[in-house]
Each structure stands twice: as structure tokens, then as C-alpha cells.
């Protein structure tokens, strides 16, 4: 069996500027996630960062990528539109996408959702409890009825997203809010999983349950559908009908008075 080719994108800005963040993620958030996932025998991991040429997301890299993971925060605006276009096209053609935490406000996620992806937030190191609400889904497997995070940034509703295809997790926050923390959508042939936990100033990407869910997510968004349909990215003309059509007395250019065909 061939491995799943995963590319972890991280803007990688906070970790180089802020000493506090650097202590938590000395190799970057992408490095911490990559280290965990490299232990999985079915995953092949590479990383990409903002400062690389084309943010490390060249045509060649994306074409070889089965699943793209995305983390960004203060540098969303610096992601070039040509790369956003490219990622969108690859998702429509079957690349899986896992969007993490503040990636909710990335150009890539907004483009695929069609909404503003706004929310409310508070940074007060409060407790979060992420409840499983769909016991039927592979992404929720193996993490018990909930995941508890002792210190987290709060994200609260109303979260401006399209209704998910599947709602998997809902977060409770100590300060009084709730949030749809784990959800899936499909766009074209591509599957998308958004998972809320994670922030640069908390060691949440070291949490084994969070990493477990992300790994479940990677496996689930990997394309396993039908590659033979048309309609993605084009309007195909079908010149020959599949069935024999009845004779038509209506044809542009052949009839002089189309207004006589007006229906009541």
C-alpha cells in the first residue's frame, strides 16, 4: 500500500519572533506535528512555510500531496493569491485539507467556505472541553467522550461557516461560550476537516489526543472517491445524447416565430 503524502503548511512567524512561543515549539508548530506523524507508518510527511518560494506550495509539491494541513495566524494576508487559487483547484480535484485553529481565517479556508469565517475569541488560558457529538465517525475514534485542554484560547459562536456536512466536536469553554470545533465539508472531490484546538502560546499541539484527532483527520480526508465523474472545473458539452430524442419542432434558426411557443 502506498503511503499518504502529507504536507504541513505553517506560516512559521510567531515561533521565530517570540521567545515564549519558541520554547513551546522550538522546531515550529509544523515541526511538532511532523515529529508526531512521522511515527505513523502509513504517512509520508513534508513541511512548507511562508518564507519559502511560493510558500513551499509549488505545483510540483501540491501535485504530489494527498493531504495538506494548514496553520496560519498573523500572516494570512501574505499568502499569495496564486497559491490560494492553486490550493483550491487541488482540493476540488481531490486533495484533502486539514485546517487547524486560527487557520479558520486563512484565505484558503475562506475561499473554500464562501463565508467570512469570523468568530469571537478571548485569550485567557481558560479550560476547554471538546465533546464528541458524532460517535459514528472515524475522526472521533479513540479519544473518549471528550478531550480536556487545561489552558486554551477561547473561540466562540456565532462561527460564520456554511452548515457542515458533518459536525463532530463541540467545545465548552470555562468563560461561558460554545464552539463547533470539529467539522467536515466536501468541495468537489476534496474533503476538508476543520479542527479548532491549538494556539502558538499554548502547548496544545503536544497534546496526544489532539494529535490523534489530527491524524485521524489526515486519513479521513485522503481521497477515496470516484475519480471518473466530470463537472469539476468545467462546463462540458455533451453533443450526443445517451437516449434517442423524439423529433423536435423547436429549433433556433429553424422557426420564425418563437413567441408562439410561449407557455402560459
Residues within window 40-69 making contact with a copy of itself, judged by CB under 8 A: none
As a whole number of Å, the end-to-end CA separation of the chain is 61
Among positions 120-159, residues that touch a copy of itself (CB under 8 A) are 120-122, 124-127, 129, 131-138, 140-145, 150-151, 154, 156-159
Specify whether the CB–CB gap between 35 and 42 falls below 8 A: no
CA–CA separation, 36 and 215 (whole Å): 9
Among positions 232-261, residues that touch a copy of itself (CB under 8 A) are 232-239, 241-243, 245-246, 248, 250-253, 257-259, 261
Q: CA triplet 240, 244, 250: central angle to 5 degrees?
A: 85
Residue number with CB closer to a copy of itself (56 or 184): 184
Contact string (CB under 8 A) for a copy of itself, positions 2-21, x = contact = ------------------x-
Residue number with CB closer to a copy of itself (31 or 172): 172
Give the CB-side neighbour count of residue 157, counting CA atoms within 13 A: 11
Closest CA to 145 of 160, 129, 165: 129
Among positions 152-191, residues that touch a copy of itself (CB under 8 A) are 154, 156-160, 162-163, 165-167, 170-178, 180, 185-191
Among positions 193-222, residues that touch a copy of itself (CB under 8 A) are 201-204, 206-208
Per-residue cell: 148 = 480536556
Amino acid at each position: 500500500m502506498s503511503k499518504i503524502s502529507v504536507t504541513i503548511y505553517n506560516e512559521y512567524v510567531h515561533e521565530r519572533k517570540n521567545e515564549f512561543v519558541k520554547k513551546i515549539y522550538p522546531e515550529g508548530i509544523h515541526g511538532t506535528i511532523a515529529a508526531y506523524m512521522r511515527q505513523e507508518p502509513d504517512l509520508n510527511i513534508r513541511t512548507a512555510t511562508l518564507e519559502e518560494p511560493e510558500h513551499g506550495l509549488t505545483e510540483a509539491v501540491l501535485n504530489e500531496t494527498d493531504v495538506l494541513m494548514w496553520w496560519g495566524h498573523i500572516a494570512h494576508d501574505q499568502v499569495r493569491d496564486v497559491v490560494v487559487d492553486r490550493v483550491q483547484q487541488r482540493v476540488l480535484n481531490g486533495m484533502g485539507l486539514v485546517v487547524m485553529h486560527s487557520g479558520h481565517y486563512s484565505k484558503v479556508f475562506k475561499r473554500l467556505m464562501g463565508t467570512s469565517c469570523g468568530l469571537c475569541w478571548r485569550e485567557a488560558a481558560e479550560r476547554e472541553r471538546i465533546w464528541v457529538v458524532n460517535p459514528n465517525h472515524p475522526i472521533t475514534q479513540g479519544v473518549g467522550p471528550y478531550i480536556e485542554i487545561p489552558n486554551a484560547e477561547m473561540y466562540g459562536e456565532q462561527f460564520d461557516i456554511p452548515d457542515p456536512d458533518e459536525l463532530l466536536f463541540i467545545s465548552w469553554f470555562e468563560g461561558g461560550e460554545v464552539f463547533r470545533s470539529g467539522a467536515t465539508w466536501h468541495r468537489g472531490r476534496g474533503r476538508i476537516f476543520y479542527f479548532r484546538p491549538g494556539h502558538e502560546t499554548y502547548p496544545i499541539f503536544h497534546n496526544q489526543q489532539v494529535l490523534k484527532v489530527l491524524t485521524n483527520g489526515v486519513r479521513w480526508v485522503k481521497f477515496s472517491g470516484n475519480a471518473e465523474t466530470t463537472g469539476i472545473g468545467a462546463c462540458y458539452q455533451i453533443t450526443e445524447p445517451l437516449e434517442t430524442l423524439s423529433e423536435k419542432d423547436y429549433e433556433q434558426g429553424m422557426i420564425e416565430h418563437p413567441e408562439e411557443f410561449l407557455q402560459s
